[in-house]
Amino acid sequence: MNNLTQRARMQPVLGVGTGIAAFASAAIVFLILIFLLVFAWPAIRFNGSGILTGVIWNIGNQYGSSTVTHNGVTAQAGASFGGLVFVFGTIATSALAMVIAVPLSFLVAVALVYRVPRKLQPLANTLVELMAGVPSVVYGLWGIVVLVPWVGNQLGPFAQAHLSWVPLVRGETGSGNGLLAAGIILALMVLPIMVATLRDVILAQPPTIFEASMALGSTTWQAVTRAVFPSVRKGFLAAVLVALGRALGETMAVLMVCGAAINQFPSNIFQAVNTIAAVIVSQLDSALTDASGMAQRSLAELALVLFLITLVVNVVARLTLRGADRSAQ
Amino acid sequence: MRKFSMPALVVAAALLCAGPALASTRLLETGSTLLYPLMNLWVATYQKEHHGVEITTQGTGSGTGISQAIAGVAQIGASDAYMSDAQMKGTPMLNIPLAISAQQINYNVPGLNGVHLHLSGPVLAGIYSGQIRFWDDPHIKALNRSYAARLPHHEIIPVHRSDGSGDTFIFSQYLSFSTPSWRNGPGYGTTISWPAVATAVGANGNPGMVQTCKASPYSIAYIGVSFLNETNAAHLGYAALENRDGRFVLPTASTIGASARVMVAKTPRDERISLVYAPGADSYPIINYEYAIVNPHQADPAVRRQLATFLSWAIRSNGGNAAHFLNSVHFLPLPDSVVRLSREQILGIR
> Is A76 at the interface with chain B, CB within 8 A?
yes
- Number of independent structural domains in chain A: 1
From the CA of A150, how many Å to the nearest CA of chain B?
9
Phi, psi dihedrals of residue B298, rounded to the nearest 5°:
-115, 115
| Mean pLDDT of all residues in A125-140 | 90
Return all residues near B251 (Cβ < 8 A) that are at least 6 apart. Answer: B102, B103, B104, B225, B238, B241, B284, B286
Same-domain check for residues B41 and B135? no
Cβ(B133)–Cβ(B112) under 8 Å? no
| B319 domain-assigned | yes
The type of residue at B135 is: W
Q: In terms of DSSP H, where are the helices of chain A?
A: 2-47, 50-53, 84-110, 121-133, 136-142, 148-150, 156-162, 179-204, 208-215, 220-222, 229-249, 252-257, 276-287, 294-328
Which of B66, B189, B194 is the closest to A288 by Cβ?
A: B66
Same-domain check for residues B124 and B93? no
CB contact under 8 A, A63 and B188: yes
| A234 domain-assigned | yes
Taking the C-alpha atoms of residue A222 and residue A212, their distance in angstroms, rounded to an integer, is: 12
| B18 domain-assigned | no
Residue B147 confidence (pLDDT) above 50: yes
- What are the pLDDT digits (tens) for B285-337? 999 999 999 999 999 999 999 999 999 999 999 999 999 999 999 999 999 99
Taking the C-alpha atoms of residue B231 and residue B249, their distance in angstroms, rounded to an integer, is: 18
What is the b/e burial string over B85-100, where b = at least 16 CB atoms within 10 angstroms of the residue's CB? ebbeeeeebbbbbbbb
Indicate the SS3 state at residue B221. strand
The pLDDT value given to residue B307: 96
Indicate the SS3 state at residue B75. coil
Q: Measured between alpha carbons, how far is residue A3 from residues A6, A9, A10, A18 in Å?
A: 5, 10, 11, 22
Which of B61, B84, B155 is the closest to A62 by Cβ?
A: B84
Residues of chain A contacting B189 with CB distance shorter than 8 Å: 59, 61-63, 286
The domain boundary residue, chosen from B208, B233, B266: B266
Residue A254's pLDDT band (cuts 50, 70, 90): very high
Residues of chain B contacting A278 with CB distance shorter than 8 Å: 162
- What are the pLDDT digits (tens) for A195-250? 998 898 888 888 888 888 889 888 888 888 888 888 888 888 888 988 998 899 99
Residue A26's pLDDT band (cuts 50, 70, 90): confident
Same-domain check for residues B96 and B110? no
Same-domain check for residues B70 and B207? no
Which own/partner contact pairs does A222-230 have at CB distance under 8 Å and 24+ positions apart? A224/A110, A224/A114, A228/A110, A228/A202, A229/A106
From the CA of A179, how many Å to the nearest CA of chain B?
12
Q: Measured between alpha carbons, how far is residue A52 from residues A81, A160, A313, B53 in Å?
A: 9, 33, 18, 50
The residue of chain A nearest to residue B183, with distances taken between CA atoms, is A61
Same-domain check for residues B148 and B235? yes
- pTM check: above 0.95: no
The type of residue at B287 is: I
Same-domain check for residues B198 and B88? no
- Number of independent structural domains in chain B: 2
Taking the C-alpha atoms of residue B294 and residue A182, their distance in angstroms, rounded to an integer, is: 40
Same-domain check for residues B170 and B29? no
Residue B7 confidence (pLDDT) above 80: no
Residue B19 confidence (pLDDT) above 50: no
Q: In terms of DSSP H, where are the helices of A171-228?
A: 179-204, 208-215, 220-222
CA dihedral (B239, B240, B244, B246) positive or negative: negative
Cβ(A181)–Cβ(A144) under 8 Å? no
Q: What distance lies between CA B148 and its chain's CA centroid?
A: 33
Same-domain check for residues B113 and B207? yes
Cβ(A228)–Cβ(A118) under 8 Å? no
DSSP E strands, B20-135: 25-31, 53-59, 76-79, 94-108, 118-119
Return all residues near A299 (Cβ < 8 A) that are at least 6 apart. Answer: A279, A280, A283, A284, A287
| B166 domain-assigned | yes
- What are the pLDDT digits (tens) for B166-205? 999 999 999 999 999 999 999 999 999 999 999 999 998 8
Same-domain check for residues B49 and B168? no
Return all residues near A259 (Cβ < 8 A) that are at least 6 apart. Answer: A174, A175, A177, A178, A181, A271, A272, A273, A274, B200, B201, B202
Return all residues near B241 (Cβ < 8 A) that are at least 6 apart. Answer: B105, B119, B120, B121, B174, B248, B249, B251, B284, B285, B286
Mean pLDDT of the residues in chain B: 92
From the CA of A32, how many Å to the nearest CA of chain B?
22
Residue A320's pLDDT band (cuts 50, 70, 90): confident
| Mean pLDDT of all residues in A276-296 | 93
Same-domain check for residues B160 and B203? yes
CB contact under 8 A, A291 and B86: yes
DSSP 8-state code for residue A321: H
Taking the C-alpha atoms of residue B84 and residue B92, their distance in angstroms, rounded to an integer, is: 10
User: For chain B, what is the radius of gyration of the CA atoms?
Assistant: 22
> Is A269 at the interface with chain B, CB within 8 A?
no
CB contact under 8 A, A292 and B188: no
Write the CATH number for A105. 1.10.3720.10
Cβ(A160)–Cβ(A251) under 8 Å? no
The pLDDT value given to residue A205: 85
| Mean pLDDT of all residues in B278-284 | 97
Cβ(B135)–Cβ(B153) under 8 Å? yes
Q: Measured between alpha carbons, how far is residue B3 from residues B6, B13, B15, B283 in Å?
A: 9, 16, 19, 68
Domain limits for position B247: 103-266
- What are the pLDDT digits (tens) for B66-95? 999 999 999 999 999 999 998 999 899 999
Taking the C-alpha atoms of residue B72 and residue B295, their distance in angstroms, rounded to an integer, is: 8
| A205 domain-assigned | yes
Domain limits for position A190: 83-282
Nearest CA to A247 out of A203, A277, A285 is that of: A277
Taking the C-alpha atoms of residue B180 and residue B173, their distance in angstroms, rounded to an integer, is: 11
Cα B70-B75-B79 angle, rounded to 5 deg: 70
Nearest CA to A61 out of B172, B171, B13 is that of: B172
| Mean pLDDT of all residues in B208-222 | 95
Same-domain check for residues B124 and B259? yes
| Mean pLDDT of all residues in A169-190 | 92
**Which helix (DSSP H) or strand (DSSP E) does residue B183 occupy?**
helix B180-183
Q: Look at phi and psi of residue A72 and say left if phi exceeds 0, alpha if psi is from -120 to 50, else beta.
A: left
The pLDDT value given to residue B1: 39
**Which helix (DSSP H) or strand (DSSP E) does residue B174 occupy?**
helix B166-178
| A97 domain-assigned | yes
CB contact under 8 A, A148 and B196: no
The pLDDT value given to residue A164: 86
Same-domain check for residues B74 and B189? no
Q: What distance lies between CA B151 and its chain's CA centroid?
A: 31
CB contact under 8 A, B63 and A284: yes
Write the CATH number for B253. 3.40.190.10
On the 0-12 / 13-18 / 19+ scale of CB atoms within 10 A, B333 is buried
| B260 domain-assigned | yes
Nearest CA to A57 out of A288, A306, A304, A294 is that of: A294
Residue A269 confidence (pLDDT) above 60: yes
Residue A327's pLDDT band (cuts 50, 70, 90): low
Cβ(A305)–Cβ(A327) under 8 Å? no
From the CA of B57, how many Å to the nearest CA of chain A?
17
Concatenating the DSSP letter of every residue in B92-106 gives --EEEEEEEEEEEEE
Residue B118 confidence (pLDDT) above 90: yes
Put simply, the chain A residues between 140 and 199 with a CB less than 8 A from any chain B CB are 144-145, 148-149, 152-153, 171-172, 174-178
The domain boundary residue, chosen from B266, B298, B329: B266
Indicate the SS3 state at residue B107. strand
Residue A329's pLDDT band (cuts 50, 70, 90): very low
Residue B16 confidence (pLDDT) above 70: no
| B274 domain-assigned | no
The pLDDT value given to residue A325: 60
| B259 domain-assigned | yes
Taking the C-alpha atoms of residue A140 and residue A252, their distance in angstroms, rounded to an integer, is: 7
Indicate the SS3 state at residue A88. helix
Residue A6 confidence (pLDDT) above 80: no
